[in-house]
Structure 1
Amino acid sequence: MAAGRQRRAEAETFTARWKKQWHRARVGMRRSAVDYFRGDGSDWIALAGLLLTIPVIAATTMMNSVWCAPAALVLPIVAGGLLLRPASLLGLYAAAATALIVESVQLGPYTEGPSRVTPGVVLVVAACGFFGLLVAQFRSRVGVPWRRGGTMLFDLRERIRVQSKLPGLPQGWHREMALRPAGGQSFSGDFVVAARTNGGRTLEVVLTDVSGKGMDAGSRALLLSGAFGGLLGSLPPHAFLPAANGYLLRQDWDEGFATSIHLVLDLDSGDYELYSAGHPPGLQLSAGTGRWEEKSAEGPLLGVYDGAQFDPVKGSLRPGDVLMLFTDGLVETSDRDIAEGIDRLTGEADRYVAGGFHGAAWHLIEAVAKDVNDDRALLLICREGPTAQAAAARSDSARTDTARTDAARTTATGTSTTAR
């Protein structure tokens, strides 16, 4: 009896130890895999997997070189260029070269038959290895693994979009922003930062156009949008552009200039001040006359010289008035000057006067500068009159009624199904 209990205890102890070791190995493997795909761990898992594929490919080639050609060794080489670090990649290349030599010996000279290791196969494999090494060295120099590179770019794009989000406005006001980067890219040199200050009674909006376009200006736009967002609301309105100008000068970039326009709008009275740093003028639509008026403030480009002075232009938005701010890519091209572009923009905008400017920003960019190879941004600030407010109320009521009808239909359908 005692001997049997001892054997069972030893068996249970062995089983428990084995399970514990297996659990540790599994957790360690999973942790290593997670760290690897996050770009924080070693690449030994990928290296081991690719090293195992090389003898498999070589054996398959030697058994049937018609279906598995010797050039199939480029597959682990290409994958290694994307997955491995340069030091590990050299080990993979050594294994692939060894496999290629073994295939050449086993299959015989290429002059004696088809599907053998030819000089062309060797050149193709070597060329793939060379470009794979270049890719690995580039990733190593940048310091961003390929597995995280796409995620990082996506995160940067989302941060720019979040920082460009306009705050909500009280009833009677409407705002919308449309941005289209050059060439259909995801990054733009145009950005907007906005905040409600003075207890929410004032709206401050800064629309900026960084020198360059698309991906070339995207990194600088991200840096400046963060800096401008920190300055906005922390300084008096008249001190914002001088502080932004000093910030650009301290960066000492080769292309360190930018244009910017700063709107300070009192949401109670509709009075505003518009500061400009070499930016195209704003346009105000007067509901009383139905005409557009340019609002041009004085000020040099940001990042050109220290001690620049920025003088504002003042105005007021009455019910039914619209203020439009934009970047030069919307109105200026190589074969069209800014005056002609502004005329075209106001002509297209007149089509929305009767029905309201809800959803008009994107359509205006499409109509005025659809195929322009430059970043384009358009900001609309509308003080809605009684007619527009009534139309908006009717639209909201219609959407509410539609939602209620859909909910009632869904409930009725569910009740009918239950009864059946």
Structure 2
Amino acid sequence: MTLTRAARLSGVSVTTRRFSGTRLALGRERMLVFLVVLTLAAGAAILLAPDFAPLMLLTVPMAVSSLVLGPRELPWFVVFVMMVLAGLVPAQPEINPRIGVTVLAIFLLGLYILLTSFRRSRLGVGGLQGEEMLVDLRDRIQRQGGIPPLPNQWYAASELRSAGGTKFAGDFVVAARDDHHLNVAVVDVSGKGEGAGTRALLLSGAMGGLLGALPAEEFLSAANEFLLRQDWEEGFATAVHLSLDLRTGRYAVRSAGHPPAALRNAGSGRWSVLEAEGPVLGLIEGAEYECVVGEMRPGDALLLYTDGLVEAPHRDIGLGIDRMLGQAERLLRGHFEGGAARLIDALGSRNDDRALLLVHRR
């Protein structure tokens, strides 16, 4: 691409962004004008027909404004609605306890919208636009956890379940493939559900980039250094990393304070754990991570998972791993396709985040 063409494309991109920003600003201004007119119309109806139009009618434009207005316009609009309310109350035919409760309810709703608008102002966007931005970010990052296409002799699938069924979880999977190697990491960020969701979003994006850019032996060390730099209050995570040669079946498993991977030997039909050891991510500088190596032969399978599948109150984690392997022997016998979903639905607590990766050599 020539410099002239690049400059033209850059100019087109800048012009497009400016046009999009101008169009968005005009849309907000029109919506603000519409809401002001709607509020005045509701106020006129309340003033002229108080028996037909109650004061609670003012909650409609306030509720709509919390969805469509930005953080700069929203507080002023709420104040405007409160001023309209203050002008309408003395004009009511009768001031009784019911009117007082209605005014208090509208005031509390306005206060709640103001507080949420101040929180949204930290992001710079509000309402549906801010939520769409966050969901889009989540979807883009979670696509890194999708298993890339594999040769026909290999099958791999991952499954995630979050605490309470929310879409934001502290467990995630990231995967990357070059010509002949598959690299996958299953990670458990400290915390549960939405509380760990924001940290998991940031960490999954960073680890997804590291996974395809570094040699396998450097991945966990680099992830550990990244977490140390974040200085989070709950700034630790556990992870298990698999590096698999798709030509030979040779694998290397490294763990950072994570439950051990499990390998099924097709010859014996039995599962065994791969005890790789290493400290959790984000606590110790210069940590080193041991490696367990082996070879997956046709018919073999490998499980990577988070502790939500095997932990339970007042029960040793070893017993939880034994139970998981028993379920794996029953649910995966002779039929691995769809096995990750069957296994994760049969194990663990619905109040804990869970992640599972199943790799099978056909």
Q: TM-score, normalised by structure 2?
A: 0.86
| Paired position in structure 1 for 2:161 | 180
Q: Is 2:143 the counterpart of 1:162?
A: yes
Checking the alignment, whether the CA contact within 8 Å between 1:207 and 1:260 is kept in structure 2 is: yes
Say which of 131, 137, 154 aligns to 1:150.
131
Distance across 1 between alignment mates of 2:88 and 2:332: 73
1:125 partner letter: I
Checking the alignment, whether the CA contact within 8 Å between 1:249 and 1:256 is kept in structure 2 is: yes
Task: Kindly tell me the number of residue pairs found equivalent between the two proteins.
Answer: 340
Deviations 1:336-355 (A, max 9, x none): 32111111111111124543
Q: Shift in Å at residue 331 of structure 1?
A: 0.6
Deviations 1:256-314 (A, max 9, x none): 11111111111111111111111111111111111111101121111111111111011
Q: Is 2:335 the counterpart of 1:335?
A: no
Say which of 215, 218, 223 aligns to 2:194.
215
User: Secondary structure at the residue paired with 2:213?
Assistant: coil
2:76 partner letter: A
Q: 1:33 to 1:91 in 2, by over 3 A?
A: farther
Q: 1:374 to 1:117 in 2, by over 3 A?
A: closer
Q: Is 2:86 the counterpart of 1:97?
A: yes
Moved more, 336-345 or 83-92: 83-92
Q: Is 2:44 the counterpart of 1:65?
A: no
Could you list the runs of 4 or more consecutive aligned residues of structure 1 that deviate by over 4 angstroms after TM superposition?
A: 30-34
Distance across 2 between alignment mates of 1:292 and 1:322: 9
| Paired position in structure 2 for 1:278 | 257
Checking the alignment, whether the CA contact within 8 Å between 1:100 and 1:117 is kept in structure 2 is: no
Structure possessing the higher relative contact order (Cα contacts under 8 Å, 6 or more residues apart)? 2
Checking the alignment, whether the CA contact within 8 Å between 1:50 and 1:92 is kept in structure 2 is: no
Distance across 1 between alignment mates of 2:286 and 2:46: 73
Q: Is 2:289 the counterpart of 1:289?
A: no
Q: Is 2:351 the counterpart of 1:373?
A: yes
| Paired position in structure 2 for 1:267 | 246
Checking the alignment, whether the CA contact within 8 Å between 2:43 and 2:84 is kept in structure 1 is: no
Say which of 200, 210, 213 aligns to 1:234.
213
Checking the alignment, whether the CA contact within 8 Å between 2:47 and 2:88 is kept in structure 1 is: no
| Paired position in structure 2 for 1:394 | none
| Paired position in structure 2 for 1:383 | 361
Distance across 1 between alignment mates of 2:183 and 2:264: 20
Q: Is 2:278 the counterpart of 1:311?
A: no
Q: Shift in Å at residue 42 of structure 1?
A: 7.6
Q: Shift in Å at residue 44 of structure 1?
A: 3.8
Distance across 2 between alignment mates of 1:45 and 1:378: 48
Q: Shift in Å at residue 33 of structure 1?
A: 9.5
2:126 partner letter: P
User: Secondary structure at the residue paired with 1:285?
Assistant: strand
Q: Shift in Å at residue 131 of structure 1?
A: 2.6
Q: Shift in Å at residue 330 of structure 1?
A: 0.6
Deviations 1:38-61 (A, max 9, x none): xxx584433332332334333333
Q: 1:160 to 1:230 in 2, by over 3 A?
A: closer
Say which of 208, 217, 231 aligns to 1:252.
231
Give 5+ residue unaligned stretches, structure 2. 1-18
User: Secondary structure at the residue paired with 1:85?
Assistant: helix
Q: Is 2:33 the counterpart of 1:48?
A: yes
| Paired position in structure 1 for 2:10 | none
Checking the alignment, whether the CA contact within 8 Å between 2:58 and 2:81 is kept in structure 1 is: no
Q: Is 2:123 the counterpart of 1:139?
A: no
User: Secondary structure at the residue paired with 1:289?
Assistant: coil
1:146 partner letter: G
2:342 partner letter: H
Q: TM-score, normalised by structure 1?
A: 0.75
Distance across 2 between alignment mates of 1:31 and 1:289: 62
User: Secondary structure at the residue paired with 1:60?
Assistant: helix
Q: 1:260 to 1:129 in 2, by over 3 A?
A: closer
User: Secondary structure at the residue paired with 1:193?
Assistant: strand
Distance across 1 between alignment mates of 2:329 and 2:180: 30
Q: 1:339 to 1:136 in 2, by over 3 A?
A: same
Percent identical pairs in the alignment equals 45
Q: Is 2:222 the counterpart of 1:243?
A: yes
Distance across 1 between alignment mates of 2:129 and 2:205: 22
| Paired position in structure 2 for 1:391 | none
Say which of 169, 173, 176 aligns to 1:192.
173
Q: 1:77 to 1:185 in 2, by over 3 A?
A: closer
Q: 1:74 to 1:383 in 2, by over 3 A?
A: closer
Give 5+ residue unaligned stretches, structure 1. 1-29, 385-420
Q: Is 2:61 the counterpart of 1:76?
A: yes
Q: Is 2:179 the counterpart of 1:204?
A: no
Q: Over the residues paired in the alignment, what is the CA RMSD in angstroms? A: 2.5
Checking the alignment, whether the CA contact within 8 Å between 2:185 and 2:241 is kept in structure 1 is: yes
